[in-house]
Chains A and B, each alone.
Chain A
């Protein structure tokens, strides 16, 4: 895909920066993750997904 074609798509252009690697293993936003886990444990995924998995 050339630049002109790429610019026509909705795909964002991302610059790779290896200095961000350090954040991958950091326990950031832990409160939110705990909250998400709590919610997902209670309600799971939408019904349409559950039925697709059956």
Chain B
């Protein structure tokens, strides 16, 4: 399954990615970063809009660029690349807001059968990790290569 996605750039370690969203509001450069957590081999996935020429990133920005599905597919592509390089590492992800977390959940639900072929995927519910199921509102997500 190949969904439309943006071209990704990355530095050599595949920890930081960049792409440009192209939509109704024009071109919006975005940055994805996989950061270490306090738990070994668990990395936090976060992404946001690059602000002008500064090095700042806004992960609360609501771009409304009309391409959210393509943006999500691009972020998923970065997860595929990251976990291809580091197959034993976990990726932790949550949205900046509840509605954004729900957007991720809807995105995952749509392709969960495909995702499960290569990944273990869990959702956080009431303080416990559960195997991801469609139609449940999770607080965050955890994925790892099978």
Contact = CB atoms under 8 A, between A and B. Distances in A.
B94 interface: yes
B86 to A, nearest CB: 14
Given A24-B15, A39-B124, A45-B42, A12 B78 contact: yes
Given A11-B81, A16-B11, A26-B55, A35 B94 contact: yes
B12 A33 contact: no
A44 to B, nearest CB: 8
Given A24-B16, A33-B35, A36-B92, A17 B46 contact: no
Contacts of A42: 127
A45 B124 CA distance: 10
B37 interface: yes
Interface residues of B, number: 48
A3 interface: no
User: Dominant SS at the A interface?
Assistant: helix
22 contacts: A10-B80, A12-B8, A12-B78, A14-B17, A16-B9, A17-B9, A17-B10, A17-B18, A20-B10, A24-B13, A24-B15, A28-B31, A29-B59, A32-B94, A36-B44, A39-B92, A40-B38, A40-B39, A43-B127, A43-B128, A46-B120, A46-B122
Q: Which 6 A-B pairs have the closest CB atoms?
A: A29-B46, A12-B77, A46-B129, A17-B9, A20-B11, A36-B44
Interface of A: 10-18, 20-24, 26, 28-29, 32-33, 35-37, 39-49
